[in-house]
Amino acid sequence: MKEQIKQTITKGEAVDIADAELYNDTVKRVDYSGNQPRHQGSEIYNKAYKPKKDTVDRSSLNNKITCDNIRGWGDNLYQRLYVDGDRYGEGVRVVGYSSYVPERNSKGDRRPSEQSGFSIYFDDEQQVIEFAQKCLDTMAIKKEREYLFKQYDGKHPDVYNHFPNMLDRTMCETGRYYWDASLNKVVEITKDTDAEILELHPEYRTDDEGNFEQSWTNEKAEDKLKGLLRGQECNWTGDDYMDINLANLQTGGYYTDGLVARKVRNPEDKRRKMWLTTFFFVDGTETTLEGKWDLLGDGTLRRLTWKE
């Protein structure tokens, strides 16, 4: 029997599953404009795409396992776990049992005791083997997941890829494109675009005849898009861009525009502070500039402070 029970997945498969689980745990919803929806619990936003990394099925068993809850309360708790062969047929069951007897109150009264338990039924040897193999598979995946979690510093490195970068989000804000989070790409809106997508797109509005009608928000996005495209053409050189690839800024992180300005102590004069601005990119890299910088509505950078 011992030789028959072994891990059924390879180390590579365990790594792939662990990697996918970490990604799926950290991914967040994205609406058709590429933003995180403000009301994620509402029905309209639940229809937006939420990508999942594919994993092999490691949860199903050929046998059906019926399990009741078992829980604990603290002191005066009695628990028991055992294998029982006293059932009809050739199979066995694993039984868990928990019983709690409350303390008496000041009047000597005692609340009724509480009991809980579960039973798992196995009809033959093969079902026992399959169950043990699933346990070994899960242990292997858990081991790899803990390793990857430390390597990734707690967050999957691809978690921002299902969000558009700054250029893609701006394109969606024009109302002429939408973000397909299942494909991780911007898609142009055409006459063949699904009507439900257009209905859920927060930046796509129509006139009384159903034709796209550009709003003030769309016009602002068009101005910003022109500046980002100019930055690409000049390879982000010059005072308007400061060698910062604004198109590739994160939009799905804690800082929605992919940058944050903060004051820190000046290393040359501990009595004074200085501004630093950090830019966060979709590939997980960062760049920091001295001074307080902001991304303007025309798609360029401006330094807001020079001297303290």
* Domain ranges, ordered by start, for the chain: 1-59+126-162, 64-122, 235-303
The per-residue pLDDT for 235 is: 97
Q: Which residues of the chain have pLDDT under 50?
A: none
The pLDDT of residue 192 is 94
Give me the pLDDT at residue 3, please.
Answer: 66
Residue 281: the pLDDT is 93
Helices assigned H by DSSP within 152-210: 166-173, 195-200
pLDDT of residue 65: 60
Q: Does the pTM exceed 0.85?
A: no
pLDDT of residue 204: 94
Nearest residue to 252 (alpha-carbon basis) of 51, 54, 53, 55 = 51
pLDDT at position 169 is 96
* pLDDT score for 294: 94
Tell me, what's the pLDDT at 64? 61
Within 13 A of 127's CA, how many CA atoms are on the CB side? Answer: 14
State residue 125's pLDDT score.
87
pLDDT of residue 158: 84
Q: Give the pLDDT confidence score for residue 68 in this predicted structure.
A: 55
